[in-house]
Amino acid sequence: MVNVAALKAAKAGAKSVTMTDLEYAKDKIIMGSERRSAVISDETRKPTAFRESGHAIVAIHTDGAHPVHKVTIVQRGTSLGMVAQLPDKDETSASRRQLLAQLHVCMGRRAAEEVIFGENEVISGAFSDLQEATSLARAMVTKYGMSKVVGLVADDCDCNGRCMDTETKREVRKLLDRAYNNAKTILTTHSNELHTLADALLEKETLTGSQINALLGKKEMLPVLDNPELGSVVSRKEEVDGCCYRESQNESGKDDFCSY
């Protein structure tokens, strides 16, 4: 990261590396290189702004989700937009509450599409989000012992879940359906915030977590959804590994989601 920052400073003719250079380097490593030369139509920018805003709003209002580091609709690589999240402390494991929060955030883009544009206007770009959510839900049920119905088991399922019986598949589906419905509830309840953030992204293109907090009038990102599946609401979230959610220009959905 320091090398990337130093290279940027040298190109600018600076005599030293500043925090601005380091922030640039961190974002480049986490989110990829910006492609501001790419021509993106308004018909594409507006839906992208709402989808990325959906990710961010769900993260802000879900207990256990990573803090939002940055949201952008500037193309980076093949991604039309992205939400980057970073933990505020190091963690070596994740609680059930934190994993459920990840499921919620994975569903944010598709939920935003349905809330804003309607069920018939959802697109295939959320493929990787759904794939990531399915893999996580499957692991919670078959590997982490986080289903009361299936119990404390650790089955060695392949990536397609071929070893899962009907009961296990039902539990995975239950987790996914609940996460999606909760994401829709959050976005419907906080529709004003969704529109405010999307409008700001269309104007500014990139916003930091602090700027989003100021925009939405929040001192800190606290959960508001009262969901027994997420456990008790706390004033400070426990965090796990940082991650970013990308919207791919390729309809196959590849590279939509990455974790670090």
pLDDT in tens, 19-45: 766 665 655 555 556 556 565 667 778
Catalytic annotation, residues = 52
- Note whether residue 56 is domain-resident: yes
- Note whether residue 204 is domain-resident: yes
- Note whether residue 16 is domain-resident: no
- Note whether residue 14 is domain-resident: no
Helix 96-106 × helix 42-60 angle, to 10°: 160
CATH number at residue 250: 1.20.58.760
- For the chain, 260 residues long, the average pLDDT of each consecutive 10-residue run is 68 72 60 60 82 94 91 76 79 85 94 92 81 91 83 68 74 94 96 96 92 82 41 32 47 34
- Note whether residue 25 is domain-resident: no
- Note whether residue 10 is domain-resident: no
Q: What is the pTM of this model?
A: 0.71
- Note whether residue 112 is domain-resident: yes
Residue 164: closest CA among 149, 181, 182, 179: 149
Residue span of the structural domain in which 209 resides: 32-259
- Note whether residue 2 is domain-resident: no
Mean pLDDT of the chain: 76
Domain total of the chain: 1
